[in-house]
């Protein structure tokens, strides 16, 4: 069953690029005690993700934080090295990049998509959410092929 507003995020391991290599992040611990703007993209360095989705959250970071957001997190079904490189390449110091390399996070939330037609395999759908102390307060899932409700601008309008 797809995650919904009021649900607690599934407790899975994500990875973060660190100075000494990939660092495991347990979601139950990571999202505890803070309000997070979380967004997921089908893939790092992909066209819409790189041209619109990530840049929108970088650009609107201060506005999101002014509305009570403690941290902005981007996830994708990529490895920690790719997510770390994408973050550096896009100048996204305001956005924490967390890798869902095995798609465990999106599978546990039932928010996967089949990208095999593009040689991408199982990926996460494009979505955004507000997570407060591990609980989903707002969930915005895109229809296939669209980029409207998961943007930073849309999220700001809902806060």
Show the DSSP H helices in 13-151 as ranges: 27-30, 47-48, 54-59, 61-66, 80-89, 104-108
Tokens of 120: 């991408």
Residue 49: active-site member: yes
Residue with tokens 């110091």: 93
Catalytic residue among 49, 109, 136, 139: 49
Sign of the alpha-carbon torsion through 32, 159, 43, 144: positive
Strand, coil or helix: what is 60? coil
Residue with tokens 């041209």: 51
Active-site residues, by number, are: 49
């Amino acid at each position: 069953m797809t995650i919904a507003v009021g649900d607690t995020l599934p407790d899975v391991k994500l990875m973060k690029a660190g100075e000494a290599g990939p660092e495991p992040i347990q979601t139950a611990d990571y999202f505890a005690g803070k309000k997070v703007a979380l967004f997921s993209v089908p893939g790092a360095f992909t066209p819409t993700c790189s041209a619109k989705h990530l840049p929108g959250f970088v650009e609107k970071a201060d506005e999101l934080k002014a509305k009570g957001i403690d941290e902005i997190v981007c996830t994708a079904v990529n490895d920690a090295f790719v997510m770390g490189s994408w973050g550096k390449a896009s100048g996204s110091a305001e956005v924490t990049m967390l890798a869902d390399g095995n798609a465990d996070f999106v599978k546990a939330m039932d928010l996967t998509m089949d990208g095999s037609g593009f040689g991408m395999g199982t990926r996460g759908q494009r979505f955004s959410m507000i997570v407060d102390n591990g609980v989903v307060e707002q969930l915005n899932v895109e229809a296939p092929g669209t980029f409207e409700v998961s943007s930073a601008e849309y999220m700001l309008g809902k806060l």
